[in-house]
Amino acid sequence: MKLSVKLLASVGLFSLTVASSSALAAADEKLRAAAEQAQPAVIESLHDMVLIESGSSDVEGLRKMADFTEARLKALGAKTERRKTTKGAGADMVIGTFEGTGSKKLMLIAHMDTVYEHGILDTQPYKVDGNRIYGPGIADDKGGIAVILHSLKILNDAGWRDYAKLTVSFNPDEEVGSIGSGEIIAELADQHDVVLSCEPTVAPPVARNESLLLGASGTATGTLDVKGKASHAGAAPQLGRNALIELAHQLLQTQDVAKSIPGTQLNWTTAKAGTVRNQIPDHATAGADIRLTIPDGVQKLQAALDEKVKNRLIADTEVSVTVVAGRPPFVADDRGRALAKQGQAIYAELDRTLDIAEMTGGATDAGYAARSGKAVVVESFGLAGWGYHARDEYIDTNSIVPRLYLMTRILMELGKAK
């Protein structure tokens, strides 16, 4: 018996029909063959991109990445635009648009920057070891760029144009909070029905299976500032007001404040005090990494911290704390969950299991794309890998064909949706 499940999700007149895995059991053999044939070209693209060092502050490297991606989009027939980011290093976003014959407006996003400093290839070069290819930024997020470019080539070669508009956005500052591109991404996303974000998925055996992601933390920064009074550390320490000691007191009493506010996380990660050994320091500061999954988390944390720091250890010190919002959290709605389930059914066509991950402590541009709630957003359509933001970052080549198949099939299904 043939079963189907119809899950409706509305954005204006937009609705998404999702078939069950039993109804989608037969793989599209032409697409699978095209994905298999594309694998060597994907690896070549990964090689070329990894050799372009493109840390978030490396303007020249980011220019080379922008040149690379823009040329590839143009070759696919896109109308391209280089848009200057509004803050930060001043690198360009690359935006490509395709006009089709269908009714849906679809958007694909990935980022060109990495966390690595210039010169990283001297100590962490591109290398191949079995089914793993190593290189700085290869998974996060040059693998995502490769999935987009080569999936679109497969569909372009097949003559697929079942969309009203298809937009590709590659930004240069995701690893520093998309400080200059986030608002542009949000604006573009609001003009589309669906946004597929192409951050990596965790590769087995680190994870049980590859996955799609339905939630990512928002970010904020916390700053704790203490003003004391300087004095001679040897001759008259009692005349000083030690800002370092007060800072330590405040760090200890605020370290668990987020535990009382569900959906928030705070970790003090940096500190600075004093300039010379023989002086009681009159100034000390600390910085916090803050993660949020609730929209009012910044306000709640600010209020809780303000209350905590009223308790001083050292009299006559001044203490202030500031929480500044960064990237918004991403929490997919029911429409996103339906789309992720469709991805699971598509993976099942290849006899592969695709998990749905509910949340990660990492932050992604899906937060900007989903901020207004207008578009359906799902994260982690990139390649499977591991080691990002660390040493020996790699992708698993076994994920290339399934990920190309997933992207091409889901775009085709989205194009059919009424």
Cα 168 to Cα 146: distance, rounded to the nearest angstrom:
12
Closest C-alpha to 95, from 182, 230, 185, 198: 185
Q: Are 234 and 278 in contact (CB under 8 A)?
A: yes
Catalytic residue among 174, 193, 365, 393: 174
Catalytic residue among 53, 58, 70, 113: 113
Q: Are 16 and 333 in contact (CB under 8 A)?
A: no
DSSP 379: B
Q: Give the chain's end-to-end CA distance (angstroms, integer).
A: 25
Cα 222 to Cα 301: distance, rounded to the nearest angstrom:
9
Cα 325 to Cα 207: distance, rounded to the nearest angstrom:
31
Q: Are 417 and 68 in contact (CB under 8 A)?
A: no
Q: How far is CA 334 from the centre of its chain?
A: 21
Query: For the chain, what is the radius of gyration of the CA atoms?
Result: 24
- For residue 57, what are its two tokens? 């502050």
Report the DSSP beta bridge partners of residue 197: 109
Assess whether 117 carries a catalytic annotation.
Answer: no
Please count the other Cβ atoms lying within 10 Å of the Cβ belonging to residue 315: 7
Assess whether 122 carries a catalytic annotation.
Answer: no
Alpha carbons within 13 angstroms on the beta-carbon side of residue 196 total: 27
Report the catalytic residues. Answer: 113, 174
